[in-house]
Amino acid sequence: MVHRSADSRLLANLLQQEKDYSKQLGQVIESSNASLASFAAYAAASAPPTSHVIMDVAGALAAADEALRRYARGVDEWREAMRVLKDAEEEVGNIIRDREILCAFFFSCRGGSNSISE
């Protein structure tokens, strides 16, 4: 794999895609909560032997929903870490730009010499 310098547009695109993904996960979780509530109401309206089985299935689905919520929180934490990385990259880029400006100014004031050791 060829190493290329970091491109802030790639990280910005990744952050945007992850934001959309996180939003979709939230919608799935919201729909799942509504569906689980309907399923529990159906279980309550069912006859006792059947209702116990349906409640067991609802419990398994609730556990799956909780796992999905934990995953969504992990994705959000990862997004936040990537946002912090993007901010740090931008700050380093600004520092490098300012350094180049100052060096160019310094060398132009010294009479056009481009060597630091002079």
Q: How confident is the model at residue 118 (pLDDT cuts 50, 70, 90)?
A: very low
Residue 77 to residue 83: CA distance in whole angstroms: 10
Do the domain assignments include residue 8? no
Let me know if residue 57 belongs to a domain: yes
Per-residue pLDDT tens digits for 49-76: 999 999 999 999 999 999 999 999 999 9
Predicted local distance difference test score (pLDDT) of residue 5: 60
Q: Cα–Cα distance between 7 and 90 in angstroms, integer?
A: 10
**Residue 37 falls within a domain, yes or no?**
yes
Q: Determine if residue 112 is left, alpha or beta; phi over 0 gives left, psi from -120 to 50 gives alpha, anything else beta.
A: left
Per-residue pLDDT of 3-38, as tens digits, reads 556 677 888 999 999 999 999 999 999 999 999 999
Residues spanned by the domain of 100:
13-109
Q: What one-letter code names the amino acid at 102?
A: L
When divided into structural domains, the chain yields a total of 1
CB 22 within 8 A of CB 80: no
